[in-house]
Structure 1
């Protein structure tokens, strides 16, 4: 694993029945990068993110995933001490993954469970440090006014910013965001992407985000990795991704839905 890399994916494959979702994918992610994973539905974006976070196992064989210099999984098996590694990786989901009946504050405070006695979290007896960190994170995401509200009463954008705040309380060094704006209106989507960009630029957090919106990938991410049929077909600066390449990745129909902001 290169010295500057915080994630290393080597020859990773994943099959579901007869379909190969990932086909010998290799990728190095340096500390402080903000990378967009793009590609059509079924290209392997979410599968790759879930594999990095050890939410699913990869195929047996030579495939290996490392984070912070230690193994996450290899040869189809999750590393024994992966929980320690996962405390440093925040996962943001398309559907927010908040506990609807709990307040936004409690959901954000749950980010500290890897560092405190789980019984305290179960009964909501949060340490002062957690309370301070949770309110600071909510304020930073612009949703502190909703701290006492049940999560399921909030808008999608508010919930997603709460999910990012939870990753801050977790003290994550890597944020993996799987289609974080797919369910949001354009204004909320921009706010979420701007929040992720701010954490990347100001805090130096490494961000890997899967996106269907190509214009967001080009606008907010310096590096783009495109997948097609489980293989990486482009890996480079966002400014280097040309119209013809995007049409090759997505098909000729992409021409009809080419968003403003994409390369001309």
Structure 2
């Protein structure tokens, strides 16, 4: 795997009307890291992920974003190289983004589209090599038995694992996951987080995951970046993120949903 940073974000600001979603954010995520983005609702977590992929154009100014050394945004403009950068990033959404009427197998194969002629995807003329890759990916995430089922007949956890299989077929070198467990029951959420950890540790994929569940961030990610009102207010090891800092980030109400084992 490359040692180039998965994402390098420098002095990035993003405003929506009068609301500043990102305010001079600078972070760098290195290849092979597993990083949690946390913070209250509206703090800028999802906007930051979308900016990294070029889906949310940043404000004009000194801000810049690179992905694996390839320019994504400069001075408020999306780079002409953005598709090259996106090809190396797999995006996992909270609501799975599968095509409900298609089988899980076909949804997984859609990850191969960037490297195939358009007509093959349009006609469903998938090469045998890609079909094998899709089945291997579904087996890897534990849902191969459901390959022939329509996606909209599957549970949320099964769909989310299918979405991760699609990223594997894509051949992504890093995964950006935006609240991937927010819609899942606790057992399914744990399985998805464990799968992301496995892909990070065994395959060396960089992972950036936004989470509302702070305990998941601490349990599964080595590094935590916390945003508050569009600013980075913590960037460091998850094991040193204690109660005092969490209260500063979320307010005293965080105590009502606290768990044991967090540093004072």
Q: Does 1:253 align with 2:253?
A: yes
Partners of 1:64 and 1:220 lie apart in 2 by 29
* Cα displacement string for residues 166-221 of structure 1 (whole angstroms, at most 9, x for unaligned residues): 00000000100000000000000000000000000000000000000001000100
State the partner residue of 1:33.
33
- Superposed displacement of residue 128, structure 1: 1.1
RMSD (Å), alpha carbons: 1.0
Instruction: Report the alpha carbon displacement of residue 63 of structure 1 after superposing the two structures with TM.
Output: 0.6
Q: Partner of 2:167 in structure 1?
A: 167
Give the unaligned 5+ runs of structure 1.
none
Aligned residues: 262
Q: What is the CA-CA distance between 1:260 and the residue it aligns to?
A: 4.4
CA shift, 1:261, in A, is 5.0
**Structure 2 gap segments, 5+ residues each:** none
CA contact (8 A) 1:214 1:259 kept: no
Q: Is the 8 A contact 1:87 1:172 kept in 2?
A: yes
Alignment of 1:181 with 2:181, yes or no, is: yes
Q: 1:186 to 1:58 in 2, by over 3 A?
A: same
Deviations 1:30-83 (A, max 9, x none): 110000000000000000001101111111111100011110111111111211
**TM-aligned CA deviation for residue 259 of structure 1:** 3.1
The normalised TM-score by structure 2 is 0.97
Structure 1 partner of 2:15: 15
What is the CA–CA distance in structure 2 between the aligned matches of 1:38 and 1:84, rounded to whole Å? 28
User: Does structure 2 retain, via aligned residues, the 8 Å contact 1:215–1:260?
Assistant: no
Name which of structure 1's ranges 89-98 and 254-263 shifts more when overlaid on structure 2.
254-263
Report the TM-score when normalising by structure 1: 0.97
Hey, what's the Cα distance between the residues in 2 that align with 1:149 and 1:260?
41
